[in-house]
Structure 1
Amino acid sequence: MDNVLTSQRFFLLLAVMASGFLLYLLGPILSPFLIGALLAYLTDPVADRLEELGVSRTAAVVIVFVILTTLITMLILLFIPKLTHQIQVMIHQIPAVIALFEEKAIPAIQAFLGDGVSFGDIESFKKLVASHWEKTGDIMAQVASGITRSGLAVVGWIANLLLIPVVTFYLLRDWDVMMDKIGHLLPRSVEPVVSRWAKESDEVLGAFIKGQLLVMLTLGFVYAVGLWLVGLDLALLLGMLAGLASIVPYMGFIVGIFAAGVAAYLQFHDPVILLWVSAVFGVGQALEGMVLTPLLVGDKIGLHPVAVIFAIMAGGQLFGFVGVLIALPVAAVIMVFLRHVHDGYKNSHLYGSDTVVDVIADEAPQEQDIGLDEQR
């Protein structure tokens, strides 16, 4: 029996390693499939809810798919052109930002800390930044020229975009069936454990994606609307940037208020505008702490922000864009695995048992008595 169990676990380990190796080999073509799988995972609960209301699975999938496609199309048509324009505006403002720090911020810091404080050669820094931006522009021009000349690259890019909705539709339609079949393929001896771990991983991942990411998107919208009401030209870009940075508590507030403050001062040249920018981020921070986090995340156990950042960076380093897409699911599984390893270690003889603790506790008074006798 033990040999059979060991063989099954060894087979499962080999299957996981083979899947990882195939993922590494097929990485360049997996992006549309992974994006489709992510969208199917996010929208499957909505389709399940519609089924509970009496709608057939196919009709529920069609309804969810139409709503999802409409929302994504509206986002692309409304926001992408504006974001592109605002990024160009931000790039042109970089010399003005450097000049602002050179003429205003650095003298103020030196006056506060003393003239002995030095910030190095500012001119060399300005030339370095300028040269890097020129190189970036040349690289982007070369990439754009190469894509334009290569019809095959354009066709491949369009094909990947068209594959995403197709993959999303079919995966969403058969999601529950596929999960059930995968469960039946597992060796019977490990199926209960793997199913329990998969359920816990789903809870961890769901708590983060359906909770924290909703908080980030909502904050990005609130910041963008607030900065737009203030009159900031880069409102959408800076609002979305602050929302994304909110993956780490208070980081979105710090990054957003600093970047928006600099942009607002460069645009209006009036220190009073900084009070309005501060008010926008103050309202957003209060909304996050009192409404969004308790309502959307609550006491769910999600992924730690530092673990999320490390997972995304590690995935991108190892597997490129595909690694970024699979980073969070893999991090959720690893988190659940480490939790069970931790519990197993705490209950093992390596950590110590209650019997050992009791023996030590019983022996401690005897040692103290012996010490007292020796002193006497």
Structure 2
Amino acid sequence: MIPFIVGLGIAYILAPLVNFLEKRKIPRVIAILIFLLPVIAVFPLIFILIISGLIEELQGLIEKIPYAVQQIQAYSGVIINKLIELGIDIDPNIIASTVTSHLTNIISGIFTTIGQIGKGLGGIVIVIYNLVFVPLSAFLFLSDREEINDWFRNLFIAKDRKRIDEFIDKLNISLARFFRGSLLLMLIVGFIIGFTLWILGIKYYLLLGVIAGVCNIIPNIGYILSFVPAILIGFLSPSPLVNLIKIAGVYVGEQLLENFFLGPVIIGRSSKLHPVVVMIVLILGGTMFGFWGVLLAVPATIFIREFLNYFLEFNL
């Protein structure tokens, strides 16, 4: 499903460029290949370079997991003792047991995920499949645009089909703006996090930058998802408190920049959805459809908005 969505996003991003060449009498298939072939050539290279760096960082991270566990347990013990000194009635054994249990689950999840990613030949096949399916799905979306539009148009009676064409054009423009804005914001956020952590001397900056960029595809919630592993990695250094302050400063600063400048300028202009509306549809999508509901909540809302606007305007 993920390669399908990525291919759709690439198709929407390239569609204006393809349409531009098509209007200048260049066959659509050739226009698609002009812009898609560079993507096909560059995407695997970038993927391989990033993956090689991530694998190296993951290997180092796995080696330091026992040390991180000791650090977290030590800091938990200090906090528990301070709370007891303040007269707060807590059971140290229960707290320690809870912390250990959660750490065990986290570590188990990390190793399970890594194991699933790296299952030898099966993992290689999945990577190759994704590298092939993403550009292929993008090509099919771009080349079969008219067939897809015809299918949707034929769902309505003949007298309304001209208006449906207008609706499809408006919908395509809105979705294209959203996908382009999301991709741009994802790249900017990943770069800001990774580059700033590198400047501050935080290890695994590449891994954290990639996680921040990828998670940013889920509005609002993605920030929390990317912040949690950063905090865990902060415990890996000999001076975890200093690193945790640096990491928290970077993530809070980036989030403020995104909320007050990057988000309104990039996503706000592209999707034209109020942040409160975005949060509501994310909650509803996650509650009803889980992960995919969260991922597709905003594009689905854009579709519904355009359809309702058209319905109210023409009273179909």
Output the TM-score relative to the length of structure 1: 0.61
1:181 to 2:153 alignment: no
- Identify the residue that residue 39 of structure 2 maps to in structure 1: 68
Q: How many residue pairs are counted as aligned between the two chains?
A: 305
Distance 2:267 2:230 in 1: 27
Instruction: Say which of 74, 86, 94 aligns to 2:57.
Output: 86
CA contact (8 A) 2:215 2:222 kept: yes
Read off the aligned partner of 2:100 and give its amino acid letter.
K
Q: CA deviation at 1:243?
A: 3.4
Q: For the structure 1 residues 50 and 205, does the alpha-carbon distance in structure 2 shift closer, same or farther, using more than 3 Å as the test?
A: same
Read off the aligned partner of 1:307 and give its amino acid letter.
V
CA contact (8 A) 2:186 2:214 kept: yes
- Identify the residue that residue 40 of structure 1 maps to in structure 2: 11
Distance 1:256 1:139 in 2: 16
Q: CA deviation at 1:224?
A: 0.8
Q: CA deviation at 1:143?
A: 9.2
- Identify the residue that residue 57 of structure 1 maps to in structure 2: 28
Read off the aligned partner of 1:223 and give its amino acid letter.
I
- Identify the residue that residue 227 of structure 1 maps to in structure 2: 197
CA contact (8 A) 1:245 1:251 kept: yes
Distance 1:138 1:277 in 2: 26
Distance 2:241 2:102 in 1: 30
Distance 1:264 1:327 in 2: 32
Percent identity of equivalent pairs? 23
SS in 2 for 1:266: coil
Distance 2:14 2:256 in 1: 29
1:263 to 2:233 alignment: yes
- Identify the residue that residue 351 of structure 1 maps to in structure 2: none
1:236 to 2:206 alignment: yes
For each residue in 1:340-366, what CA deviation from the matched residue of structure 2 results, as whole angstroms up to 9, or x when unmatched? 89x79xx9xxxxxxxxxxxxxxxxxxx
Q: For the structure 1 residues 110 and 42, does the alpha-carbon distance in structure 2 shift closer, same or farther, using more than 3 Å as the test?
A: farther
Instruction: Say which of 247, 251, 267 aligns to 1:297.
Output: 267
SS in 1 for 2:247: helix
1:116 to 2:116 alignment: no
Q: For the structure 1 residues 280 and 54, does the alpha-carbon distance in structure 2 shift closer, same or farther, using more than 3 Å as the test?
A: farther
Which has the greater radius of gyration? 1
Unmatched 5+ residue regions in structure 1?
1-29, 348-376
Read off the aligned partner of 1:39 and give its amino acid letter.
I
Q: CA deviation at 1:284?
A: 2.8
Q: CA deviation at 1:237?
A: 2.0
SS in 1 for 2:158: coil
Output the TM-score relative to the length of structure 2: 0.70
Read off the aligned partner of 1:266 and give its amino acid letter.
L
Q: CA deviation at 1:223?
A: 0.5
- Identify the residue that residue 185 of structure 2 maps to in structure 1: 215
Q: How does 1:357-376 map to 2 (within 5 A)?
A: none
Structural RMSD (CA): 4.5
SS in 1 for 2:203: coil
Q: CA deviation at 1:226?
A: 1.4
Q: CA deviation at 1:76?
A: 0.9
For each residue in 1:182-220, what CA deviation from the matched residue of structure 2 results, as whole angstroms up to 9, or x when unmatched? 365342144356445545544553443222442133111
For each residue in 1:9-46, what CA deviation from the matched residue of structure 2 results, as whole angstroms up to 9, or x when unmatched? xxxxxxxxxxxxxxxxxxxxx77666544432332122
Q: For the structure 1 residues 159 and 230, does the alpha-carbon distance in structure 2 shift closer, same or farther, using more than 3 Å as the test?
A: closer
CA contact (8 A) 2:167 2:310 kept: no
